[in-house]
Structure 1
C-alpha cells in the first residue's frame, strides 16, 4: 500500500506551477482591469490545482496499465501504478475525484460569472487530459500534439479564462503573455520527456522528444525559454519594468538552459524540471504584479 509521501510524490508537485502560474497571471490581469474578485480568484486556483493533480494521477494510471512506467524503465519520480504501490482502480479513483472537485468548482465559477461557454471548454480540457495517455489511441504518444494541447489549455485558456470570468474583456497584452506562459508549460513537458527518452523508445511512446532526438530536444527547450522571455517583455506596459523583468528572467533561465545544453540526463533533469517550474511560477507572478499595479 502506498504511503502518504508516495501519494504526494505521485501528485508531482514540481509540475503544479504550470497550472497555478497562468491563473495567478489572470488574477493580476483582472486586478489591472479593476474587476478582480476574491471568490472567483479562489475558485479559479482550486480548479487549476485539482485539475493538474487529476491529470498527474490519470497519467500514472494510464501509463502504468500500459507498462510505460514499469519500475525497471522509470527514470523520473516513482509512479504508483507502474511500481505496484497502489491498485490501478485506486489511482483511477483518485484521478476522477480530483477531476470531479475541479469540475464542481469550475461550474460554480462559470455560473457565478455568467460565462456558460467556458463550461464546454472545461469539458474539452478534461477530455484532453484523459486522452493524453488514456484510451486506445492516446495523443501523448504522438509527436507535437501534446505540446499544442499544453500550450492551449495551460497557456491561453488558463490565463484568458481567469480574466474573462472576472472582467469580461481580453486586452491584447493578455494574449501575448498567455502565449509566453504556454511555452514555459511546453518547456516543462519537454524536460520531462527528454529525461524519459530511453524508456519511451522502449515502450513505443513516440513523444516529440523521441521524434526530435536528444540534440534536437535540447535546442527546442532553449527556444521555448527565450521565446517565452521575449513575449513576457512585450506584455508590460512600462518600458523600464519590462527591461528589469527581461534582465532578471534572462539570468534565471540560464541555469536550466546551461544544464540542458551541457547534456544533463536522467535524474539531473529532475532538478531542471523543478527549476523550470519555479521559473514558470516567477514569470506568472511578475507579470501579474506588473499588470495589477500598472494596468492593462
Structure 2
C-alpha cells in the first residue's frame, strides 16, 4: 500500500470518528439564534461564528469520547448495526482517540476564551459545564448515556443551552461591556428559550433513532439508555413527541408571539418528517435506521434554516 493510500485511509478513519452526520446538531442552534438575533437587532457576526466553532468542537469531542469509552466499556460489539466505531473496529488505537478527545475539548475551551471576553462569567460557566457533560456522556464514574440521561443531556445542552448561549453572546456583544460578571439586560429572553425548543427536540430525536437501533445490543452489554428502559413503543412515541414539540413552536410564534406568517416556513418539512417517522415505527435494523438517523440530522438542519429565515422575515 502506498503512502498516499495510507494517508487517505487514515483521513477517512478520522472522518468516521468525527461522525459528520451528527454535525447538524452543532450548526442548527447557531442558525436559529442568529435568525432571532437579526430579528431583535442584536446580530454580531464574530460571536456567531465563534459560537458555531465552539459548538462543533464540543460535538466532535463528545463523539470521540463516546467512541473511546463505549469501546473500553464493551458497549460496542461486532453485533452492533450502527456506523463503524473506529476504536472498537481497531482502525484507530484507543490512545489516539483518547488524545483526540482531550485535544478537541481543549480547543473548545480555547475558542471559548473569546466568547468569555464577549459574554463574561456566565459564558465561562456554561462553556465549562458543557465540556464536562460532553465528556461525562460516556466517561467518568457515572456516564450519563449509560443511565438513561443521554436524552436529557442532548435536549438541554445541544438545544436550550446552545441556542440561548449563541443568542446571548451576540446580544451581549451588542448591548453590554466586555467581561460582564452578571447577565446583561436583554441577553436572555423568553423568545430565545422558545426558539431553542425545536432544536432541542430534533437534536434529541437524532439520539432516539440511534438508541432504538442499538436497543438490543445496548441491553446485552448493560448500557441502560432511555430506549433500553422504555422499550421500542415508548421510544417511538418519544421520537414523535420531540417532532411534535418542534412543529408546535412556529405555530406558537405566529399565534402567541405575534410573528408574521413566514415563521411557519418549517412546516414545509412535515412530509419529510412523516417519512422518517414511518421508518422509525416499522424498522429496527441498521440498514433502515442508519439512513433514518442521517435523515433526522438533515431534517434538523433544514428545519433550523427555515425557522431562522422565517423569524427574520
* Superposition TM-score, scaled by structure 1 size: 0.92
Secondary structure at the aligned position of 2:87 is classed as coil
CA distance, structure 2, for counterparts of residue 200 and residue 273 of structure 1: 17
1:29 to 27, 36, 45: 36
Unaligned runs of 5+ in 1: none
| Higher RCO (Cα < 8 Å, 6 or more apart) | 1
8 A Cα contact 1:57 1:94, kept in partner: yes
Q: Does 1:135 align with 2:140?
A: yes
CA distance, structure 2, for counterparts of residue 120 and residue 52 of structure 1: 18
Match of 2:276 in 1: 256
> Aligned runs of 1:271-282 on 2, under 5 Å?
271-282=291-302
Deviation at 1:4, TM superposition (A): 1.1
1:173-203 alpha-carbon deviations (Å, 9 max, x no partner): 2211201210111101110010001210111
After superposition, the CA RMSD in angstroms is: 1.6
Unaligned runs of 5+ in 2: 1-5, 173-186
8 A Cα contact 2:66 2:137, kept in partner: yes
Deviation at 1:47, TM superposition (A): 0.5
8 A Cα contact 1:10 1:77, kept in partner: no
* Superposition TM-score, scaled by structure 2 size: 0.88
8 A Cα contact 2:25 2:300, kept in partner: yes
Deviation at 1:233, TM superposition (A): 2.8
8 A Cα contact 2:44 2:171, kept in partner: no
Structure number with greater Rg is: 2
Match of 1:115 in 2: 120
Match of 1:3 in 2: 10
1:224-265 alpha-carbon deviations (Å, 9 max, x no partner): 11121112332344353244432x132221110111122342
Secondary structure at the aligned position of 1:235 is classed as helix
1:252-281 alpha-carbon deviations (Å, 9 max, x no partner): 211101111223422210100111101111
2:109 to 97, 103, 112: 103
CA distance, structure 2, for counterparts of residue 232 and residue 59 of structure 1: 33
> Aligned runs of 1:282-293 on 2, under 5 Å?
282-293=302-313
Q: Does 1:241 align with 2:252?
A: no
Match of 2:228 in 1: 210
8 A Cα contact 1:25 1:159, kept in partner: yes
Q: Does 1:148 align with 2:152?
A: yes
What is the number of residues matched between the two proteins?
A: 289
Deviation at 1:171, TM superposition (A): 3.1
Taking structure 1 as reference, are residues 251 and 79 closer, same or farther at Cα in structure 2, changes over 3 Å only? Answer: same
CA distance, structure 1, for counterparts of residue 79 and residue 137 of structure 2: 20
2:76 to 49, 69, 80: 69
CA distance, structure 2, for counterparts of residue 64 and residue 240 of structure 1: 48
